[in-house]
A and B are shown apart, each in its own frame.
Chain A
Amino acid sequence: MEVTRTKIDGDSLRVRQLKAQQLLRGELEDADLEREVEQRLLFTKLETAQNWARKNALFPLGFGLACCAIEMITVIGSPRNDLSRFGAEVTRFSPRQADLLILSGRVSVKMAPIIRRLYEQMLEPKWVIAMGACSSSAGMFNNYAVVQGADKFLPVDIYVPGCPPRPEALIYGIMKLQDEIMGDPSMGWRERYRAEGTEEIA
């Protein structure tokens, strides 16, 4: 078995450790100091850091209404499409501890005030994903018993279409939400196809 050793530019791990210690003690001079600071520290705004932490550790509320709930449980629970790679596997069942409400399933007239109460119990910052056709717009149920879209009583951030949406679609929706939290609504088609600056002519 072949073992290759590579030297990293004269800095082995131990040397880096010693340099870091010197940096913290204030023993380095100007050129050394500049180089160390560039390599070690990351400068950002507090909001960006905060958003980055928030988006990578979403706590969904364990809330499932109907068929989409099964797909949601598959996303959270199945080893194939698995939400814990994005940090969102911990479903908290108490609304006070959760920050993402995934409305999975049809919202009936009897259930709507309860969902509103759950939403109000969640603490800021909170986001809502309307998963599936039924919560986005009542799906195929244009009748007396279904609220025609959850956005009639809740502010919804992301709509994930499908009946039920594939687990990959839900993960895509959650990643879009992560982009939105980061303040960077990219992953639109213009960025993906490098068509920035184009216009739509209707």
Chain B
Amino acid sequence: MPDATGLELIAQRVRESVGDDSVTDTIFYRGRATLDVAPQSVHDVIAYLRDDDQEPWDRLMSLHGVDYLPAEPRLGVHYELLSMERADRFNVRTRVGVEDPRLPTVVDVHPTANFQEREVYDMFGVVFEGHPDLRRILMPEDYEGYPQRRDFPMGGEPVIYTFNEPKLPRWYD
């Protein structure tokens, strides 16, 4: 993990090369460095971190989505980067709202993101522009709704105990 000062230096370098408004925040917590990035510059930041930075982060280990309800903007996408030469991890994060969740894809930078972006689309509804094959991957193709959002109901059946047994309609079915 780059420590807090290393994180600030990385943030400064990213701001210089990609754009001043690309980095919105830097967080260093429990030994983990997170760079908060504006949604539209994600692709450029990840490409910069892979190619041009003096400390390149060349492997994308995990791309996953988070629903930060009730904090706005709700949906977050994490990019967990790894550098194999330095055995170090780095995290890049963007936040998008639920109304228009669009992000540029990073499949051209890291082909490993293919299935993982499809999973984020399937579970959270984040549309990755430029993805070659954005379809549902885990749920059936015609499923409606984005299951892992926090306001999606858990589903399943209510558990019947003796105190609520008569209240559940047609529990004997």
How far apart are the CA atoms of A144 and B153 in the complex, in Å?
Answer: 8
With a cutoff of 8 Å between Cβ atoms, the chain A residues found around residue B159 in the complex are 142
Tell whether A146 is near chain B: CB-to-CB under 8 Å. yes
How far apart are the CA atoms of A138 and B155 in the complex, in Å?
Answer: 12
Contact between chains at B154 and A143 (CB < 8 Å): yes
Interface residues, chain A, CB within 8 Å of chain B? 109-110, 138, 141-146, 148
How far apart are the CA atoms of A148 and B160 in the complex, in Å?
Answer: 13
| Nearest 7 Cβ contacts at the A-B interface | A144-B155, A142-B156, A148-B157, A110-B140, A143-B156, A143-B155, A143-B154
Residue of B nearest to A146 (CB): B156
Which range holds the interface residue count of chain B?
Answer: 10 to 19
Residue of A nearest to B147 (CB): A144
With a cutoff of 8 Å between Cβ atoms, the chain A residues found around residue B139 in the complex are 109-110, 145
* Nearest Cβ on chain A to B66's Cβ, whole angstroms: 18
Contact between chains at A144 and B156 (CB < 8 Å): yes
With a cutoff of 8 Å between Cβ atoms, the chain B residues found around residue A146 in the complex are 156
Contact of B154 among A109, A110, A142 (CB under 8 A): A142
* Nearest Cβ on chain B to A151's Cβ, whole angstroms: 12
Known: A142-B159, A143-B155, A144-B154. 16 other contacts (CB 8 A): A109-B140, A110-B139, A110-B140, A138-B156, A141-B156, A142-B155, A142-B156, A143-B154, A143-B156, A144-B147, A144-B153, A144-B156, A145-B139, A145-B147, A145-B155, A148-B157
With a cutoff of 8 Å between Cβ atoms, the chain A residues found around residue B156 in the complex are 138, 141-144, 146, 148
* Nearest Cβ on chain A to B147's Cβ, whole angstroms: 6
With a cutoff of 8 Å between Cβ atoms, the chain B residues found around residue A110 in the complex are 139-140
How far apart are the CA atoms of A144 and B146 in the complex, in Å?
Answer: 11
Known A110-B139, A110-B140: A142·B157 in contact at CB below 8 Å: yes
How far apart are the CA atoms of A25 and B153 in the complex, in Å?
Answer: 78
How far apart are the CA atoms of A142 and B153 in the complex, in Å?
Answer: 11
How far apart are the CA atoms of A143 and B156 in the complex, in Å?
Answer: 4
Residues of B121-159 contacting chain A, CB below 8 A: 139-140, 147, 152-157, 159
How far apart are the CA atoms of A144 and B147 in the complex, in Å?
Answer: 8
